[in-house]
Structure 1
Amino acid sequence: MLAIVRNWVDRHFGREEAVLLVALLLLGLLLLATLGDVLAPALAAIVIAFLLQGMVDRLNSWRVPNWLSVTIACLVLVGTIVTLLFFIMPIIWRQLVRLFNEIPNMLAQGQEYLMLLPEKYPTLVTAKQVDDMVDMIGAELGSFGQSILTFSLTNLPVLAAVLIYAVVVPILVFFFLKDSRKILDWFRGFLPKDRPMLSQIWGEMNQQVANYVRGKVVEILIVTAVSLVTFMALGVNYALLLAVAVGLSVLIPYIGAAVVTIPVAAIGLFQWGWSGEFLTLMVAYGVIQVLDGNVLVPLLFSEAVNLHPVAIIMAVLVFGGIWGFWGVFFAIPLATLIKAIINAWPTAKKVEALEKA
């Protein structure tokens, strides 16, 4: 038994790089598990730095000095943060408050629709079942509304955290963009000079993460803008709130589109009932989803992520359950990282090929 274990260890961990890679992964997991909340601003800054690096590179290609390119990129970031905090978020908050105020009317209208079910399908649905369902939905909505009220009154530290992010993250982004080469050279100083496997994984992941972050942010902005114009043209209530929800839904492949369909359909149904306007809304929403999945995504993501849909959904569930929002956002890159490690891992055949070479 010991011989089998020893042979397995020698076969998979016989190279220094393999042991070092496992140590780095364990260290990264330990830091995220213990200091995830503390490191969240740095993680957000790294994501934004990946996003803005394309702008810096483009400005550098136009012979703009690097310090000026970095400064312009950071000014764009600060302008975006100010716009979100002082212009967009207040509108979303007002629409959200108005939506909660109208929930009792929506619930009453929904009860009228549900009460038609026992008349049409008496063998499947009873009036008592409908009443129980309405009571359950009302209790859940009341609990959720109370949670929102409690959050707004007692979680003032969250507001302070948002302000800290608004100040600290742009500063970190500036230095990540300005000194990225120095930071990477500092990390390389702790690695062995001969590191083909680590170089292969880093090269693949650096390109994948950069493409994914930039492509995903652009996709969110385009889907949000198209949805907003469509909803406003159709006269849908809470157009901005719904458009933001549809835009953010692209963060969760397959699942997000299915989940956000519920509020879009519910608000359209309560606004117009079973009418032509409601059908027009659902058709327009379906067209947006189809164009996003079949046109926009292939255009934005230059390097396709060769992962099975089941693997993508499992990655979203697992990493989202572990790290929340960031786990969902990085589910596909993390799954790609696992795949890159598996492909680059020094198996017996690869080691023999390297030794022969």
Structure 2
Amino acid sequence: MLARWFERYLSDEEAIVLLLLLIGGFSLVIWLGAALAPFLTALVVAFLLQGVVAWLERRGLPRWAAVGGVFLLFVGALLALALVVLPLVWNQLVELVQEAPRMFASSQRWLDELQTRYPTVVTPDQIQNWAATASQQASQLGQRALTFSLASLGNLLAVIIYLVLVPILVLFMLKDRERLVAFLLSLLPRRRTLMTRVWQEMDDQIANYVRGKTIEIVIVGSVAFLTFVAFGLPYAALLGLMVGLSVLVPYIGAALATLPVAAVAGFHFGMSQEFVYVLVAYGVLQALDGNVLVPILFSGAVNLHPVSIILAVLFFGGLWGFWGVFFAIPLATLLKALVQAWPRRADTLSVENKSAR
């Protein structure tokens, strides 16, 4: 049985080479991912920016001018993120941690009122259990925030290296793209029909997905931030960033982001009309994202079953964290393309027999 399986799926020489390349690539990322993180980050960013460079070239702009303009925009966006967005989010996160005891006391009073109104539904024992659980979670949250802040001080040098090294790598990857691609192709076997077929099927799909997902994060996060600011909701930047990143996890990301938005709005406005307006505006934003923005950005996306998407998010997210979640759908699409394009000796023989008849 094993012999027939190997003869069917691994009898093609090119298939074995492709399998070894895939195993080597995944092993390199798993074991050396932390050391190669700046290079991998620059590779992703260059992959995103290459589409903009190609678009400018098609409009008649010289390549050096297109690369220079796109790189300057990238550096400007990176500086704005490092000097404006991240400090604002960090300050609001610190304020939220400091405000946690007051929120806890407010929730305790709300539970007492709930027990007074509905004594048969909410018992004092339940309130004590909920209060103990909330106190434990708040204590753990404060300890994690303190540990993270102390650890981040030690990693300040690594952040500076990222801010310097990643833009330099992105510039050279954009400027010398043809030379780098030619060098990589020279390392591959001359016979690469299967690799070319898989790459052609995946290139546009991965590029469209990654760029579309990045644009979706920026649009949803920005609109959420402006909406929360318009309602006067505190921690608008922190909540906007959370809502924007929630689109990375299909189906359940929006539901998870609803909890902190509703909690902050409830503590700030109470059970008032403003609280309802915030939830309605958030629901409209999620509806527009799922029914308008996603179909526009991902019109050429591969049709994957929801179960496959959730399994890919869980598997690759557990393996590589944030980047695993970000690339879960492209990696699942890659696996699907490999399964469909993989040569099968039995299929070839059956086709030859049919043609002979």
TM-score norm. by structure 2 comes to 0.94
- Whole-Å separation in 1 of the counterparts to 2:191 and 2:103: 65
In structure 1, what is the equivalent of residue 283 of structure 2? 286
In structure 1, what is the equivalent of residue 85 of structure 2? 88
In structure 1, what is the equivalent of residue 146 of structure 2? 149
Q: Percent identity?
A: 50
Letter in 1 for 2:71: C
SS across alignment from 1:253: coil
Q: Displacement, 1:117?
A: 4.0
User: 51, 56, 63: which one pairs with 1:66?
Assistant: 63
Q: Displacement, 1:270?
A: 0.4
For the Cα contact (< 8 Å) 1:51–1:210, is it kept in 2?
Answer: yes
Structure 1 segments unaligned to the other structure (5+ residues): none
Work out whether 1:19 is the aligned partner of 2:16: yes
- Whole-Å separation in 1 of the counterparts to 2:268 and 2:184: 57
* Structural RMSD (CA): 1.8
- Whole-Å separation in 2 of the counterparts to 1:158 and 1:343: 44
In structure 1, what is the equivalent of residue 35 of structure 2? 38
Letter in 2 for 1:153: L
Q: Displacement, 1:352?
A: 3.2
Work out whether 1:204 is the aligned partner of 2:224: no
Letter in 2 for 1:343: Q
For the Cα contact (< 8 Å) 1:298–1:304, is it kept in 2?
Answer: no
Structure 2 segments unaligned to the other structure (5+ residues): none
Instruction: Please show how residues 254-333 of structure 1 align to structure 2 within 5 Å.
Output: 254-333=251-330
User: 342, 346, 354: which one pairs with 1:345?
Assistant: 342
Letter in 2 for 1:242: L
Work out whether 1:168 is the aligned partner of 2:171: no
For the Cα contact (< 8 Å) 1:211–1:302, is it kept in 2?
Answer: no
In structure 2, what is the equivalent of residue 219 of structure 1? 216
> Which segment is superposed worse, 339-348 or 138-147?
138-147
User: 73, 90, 96: which one pairs with 1:99?
Assistant: 96
- Whole-Å separation in 1 of the counterparts to 2:226 and 2:41: 29
| Pairs aligned (count) | 354
Deviations 1:151-171 (CA, angstroms, capped at 9, x unpaired): 223442322221111111111
SS across alignment from 2:302: coil
For the Cα contact (< 8 Å) 1:74–1:174, is it kept in 2?
Answer: yes
TM-score norm. by structure 1 comes to 0.94
- Whole-Å separation in 1 of the counterparts to 2:114 and 2:344: 62
Deviations 1:130-166 (CA, angstroms, capped at 9, x unpaired): 1122122112212221221232234423222211111
SS across alignment from 1:115: helix
User: 109, 113, 128: which one pairs with 1:112?
Assistant: 109
For the Cα contact (< 8 Å) 1:227–1:243, is it kept in 2?
Answer: yes
For the Cα contact (< 8 Å) 1:56–1:69, is it kept in 2?
Answer: yes
Q: Displacement, 1:99?
A: 1.2
For the Cα contact (< 8 Å) 1:109–1:270, is it kept in 2?
Answer: yes
Instruction: Please show how residues 240-251 of structure 1 align to structure 2 within 5 Å.
Output: 240-251=237-248
- Whole-Å separation in 1 of the counterparts to 2:13 and 2:28: 23
Letter in 1 for 2:72: L
User: 7, 10, 13: which one pairs with 2:7?
Assistant: 10
Deviations 1:190-223 (CA, angstroms, capped at 9, x unpaired): 3233322211111122112211111111111111
Q: 1:154 to 1:242 in 2, by over 3 A?
A: closer
For the Cα contact (< 8 Å) 2:57–2:63, is it kept in 1?
Answer: yes
Letter in 2 for 1:251: L
For the Cα contact (< 8 Å) 2:11–2:345, is it kept in 1?
Answer: no
Q: Displacement, 1:22?
A: 1.2
Deviations 1:68-123 (CA, angstroms, capped at 9, x unpaired): 21121111111111111111111111111111111111111111222344445545
SS across alignment from 1:130: helix
- Whole-Å separation in 1 of the counterparts to 2:18 and 2:258: 42
- Whole-Å separation in 2 of the counterparts to 1:219 and 1:93: 23
For the Cα contact (< 8 Å) 1:316–1:332, is it kept in 2?
Answer: yes
In structure 2, what is the equivalent of residue 159 of structure 1? 156
Q: Displacement, 1:304?
A: 2.1
Q: Displacement, 1:63?
A: 2.4
In structure 2, what is the equivalent of residue 233 of structure 1? 230
